[in-house]
Structure 1
Amino acid sequence: MSRATLTASRTSHTRRPALRPTRHAVPWLLGAAVVGVQIAFPLTGGGTPAMTVAAVVLFALASVGHALLTRGPAAAAALVLVAGGGGLLVESVGLATGLPFGEYRYSGSLGAAVLGVPLVVPAAWTMMAYPALLVGRRLARALPLRWGHLTTTLLGAWALATWDVFLDPQMVEAGHWSWLDPTPALPGVPGIPVSNFAGWLLVALVMVALLDRVIADRPAADDALPLVLWLWTFLSSVLAAAVFFGRPSVALVGGVLMGLVGVPLIVALRRHGPDLRPRVLRRR
């Protein structure tokens, strides 16, 4: 190798690491803003509608931005279409028919709506569906099972659906929506029908399965952000329900259900870090 070629190679290698943190700074800044807004929730008695919308929008932008930067425009577009568009569709059907969640009504406190559904709601599906997908993939890598997409779908869907055990009681108490018949309730979560959790799980299974097919499972060295945001949501929700919102039973039930994937995720990350590369690539 000539001296000029060696110098150019060294220059190229020294420049690349400097570009990557800069390119990925925006999603991390958005994620930090999410944490900041959510920390303020209990300090304001459960937050305001503006804070709720801000937290969801910032989180959704962080998820879409991360998908864009690590997996490309097609992945970001697929996320918005499947999670955002799918969330809007299923919520509008739910309002009209009561399926699959049960009969409920929005109060109008969450701002602009389409088909009766506040736009922040499909944004909420988008913000959590992406981290849930990556949680499912990360845990699927750590299991000895070789069920491929099925393992990811089951784990990712559980990671998404169990979040609602915390979300729904908080939003109902804040007056953002209400249930026409909240019985029978999920044990330990009064005021929220068990049909809602069943509906969330059904929708999450379909949504995560689709996302797992359309968003490439490619190597990514910086998938820490969505995993950290999912874990933050899990741990902070338990703390907020138990300490700040006076719902110890919700903290217990939600903590156990969400912890079925949350605790193994923490163990996997402590052992191996946020490595999401397919096994066949790690063997090389």
Structure 2
Amino acid sequence: MNQTEIAQGQELADTWIAPALWVLAAASVLSHVVSIVLHLPQVVAGAMLALSLMLFGLLHGRATYGWRGIVWFIAVCLGVSNLFENLSILTGFPFGWYHYSDAMGPRLFLVPLLIGPAYFGVGYLSWTLARAILGDESGRLNGILSFATPVIASFIMVSWDLTIDPMMSTITGNWIWHRGGSYFGVPLVNFLGWYLTVYVFFQIFALYVRRARPAPRHLLGYWAAPMFAYTSIIVAPVLGLLLDSQSASLADPAGQLWQVSDIRAVTALVGLFTVLPFWLVAVFRIAARTGPTAR
């Protein structure tokens, strides 16, 4: 196959990948909304969100890093996250002592299968937001970007966990913290462990990208589609607060009582003042670079 035929094949692929990204971005938003409104079982809601975001990351990543690059991202993300999750369940490092309940479905070793795709889906969006904030148009992570991008992406990723962990553990019991914790039943060390875990796989991928030198194919909506997909993460805690009128109290394994309404309110505020600002900075940075021709 000559270069002309390869280029034609890439252009043909781009014609369906661009609209597919918008469909998947919309699916991620709708899956969050529908799961909250209809109170779907966690395994169903998690599967819907993880699948839509994983497919989104796969296609958008293909446009940025090629198939080899995005498959490497997936392999490193799933490998590192599963390793650290299993390690913590067995030893308490790096997240603390916990275990998953049966509500999350089948497992890979001690970790539900849904956890890996969620790491990748949200991880890829966090990575893309970090690129947008740092002005990485080329995807090649030149100079300090190969270290700055993992640092910023990790903070973005942990801000998401701040909005979901109290709800998923203390309220729905998808995972159980054996000794409770000061953040609505979640130990503070969990968030340090999260930062370490995601930083490790982001940094490994950054070093790969620096060597691979990708040449992104900027599809129509290349930046706008992931910004839209990420709105599901912003909307979810706020929608949960507005639609959940429970006044019950719950006890964590340490015996500490927590009000459901307080958990909902605080995680919504955390989302508004951590997750949303990252998204706004990324959007403003993209708008400043592209002006009236923003894609």
Q: Which bin holds the TM-score, normalised by the shorter protein? A: 0.7 to 0.9
Conserved in 2, the CA contact under 8 Å of 1:68 and 1:75? yes
Taking the aligned partners of 1:206 and 1:15, their CA distance within structure 2 comes to 35
Taking the aligned partners of 2:290 and 2:69, their CA distance within structure 1 comes to 23
Conserved in 2, the CA contact under 8 Å of 1:182 and 1:193? yes
Partner of 1:68: 62
Q: Are 1:29 and 2:23 an aligned pair?
A: yes
Conserved in 2, the CA contact under 8 Å of 1:100 and 1:196? yes
Conserved in 2, the CA contact under 8 Å of 1:46 and 1:174? no
Moved more, 70-79 or 94-103: 70-79
Taking the aligned partners of 1:254 and 1:181, their CA distance within structure 2 comes to 25
Partner of 1:58: 52
Partner of 1:237: 236
Structure 1 pair 198/217, CA: closer, same or farther in 2 (3 Å)?
farther
Structure 1 pair 220/18, CA: closer, same or farther in 2 (3 Å)?
closer
Structure 1 residue runs of 5 or longer lacking an equivalent are: 1-12, 275-284
Structure 1 pair 96/149, CA: closer, same or farther in 2 (3 Å)?
same
Conserved in 1, the CA contact under 8 Å of 2:154 and 2:198? yes
Taking the aligned partners of 2:36 and 2:114, their CA distance within structure 1 comes to 20
2:163 aligns to what SS in structure 1? helix
Taking the aligned partners of 1:19 and 1:263, their CA distance within structure 2 comes to 31
Return the letter of the residue paired with 2:280.
V
Taking the aligned partners of 1:67 and 1:219, their CA distance within structure 2 comes to 9
Report the aligned-residue RMSD.
2.7
Residues 141-160 of structure 1 mapped to structure 2, 5 A cutoff: 141=135, 147-160=144-157
2:186 aligns to what SS in structure 1? strand
Greater relative CO, 1 or 2 (CA 8 Å, sep 6+): 2
Conserved in 1, the CA contact under 8 Å of 2:63 and 2:216? no
1:105 aligns to what SS in structure 2? strand
Taking the aligned partners of 1:15 and 1:257, their CA distance within structure 2 comes to 41
2:185 aligns to what SS in structure 1? strand
Residues 1-284 of structure 1 mapped to structure 2, 5 A cutoff: 20-45=14-39, 47-141=41-135, 147-172=144-169, 173-183=171-181, 185-186=182-183, 190-215=184-209, 216=213, 218-222=215-219, 223-224=222-223, 225-230=225-230, 232-245=231-244, 246=261, 247-273=264-290
TM-score (norm 1): 0.80
TM-score (norm 2): 0.77
1:24 aligns to what SS in structure 2? helix
Q: State the Cα distance separating 1:136 from its structure 2 match.
A: 1.2
Corresponding pairs, count: 255
Conserved in 1, the CA contact under 8 Å of 2:88 and 2:95? yes
2:103 aligns to what SS in structure 1? coil
Structure 2 residue runs of 5 or longer lacking an equivalent are: 1-6, 137-142, 245-260
Q: State the Cα distance separating 1:109 from its structure 2 match.
A: 1.5
Return the letter of the residue paired with 1:34.
S
Conserved in 2, the CA contact under 8 Å of 1:134 and 1:226? yes
Deviations 1:234-269 (A, max 9, x none): 421342243234411111123323244223113213
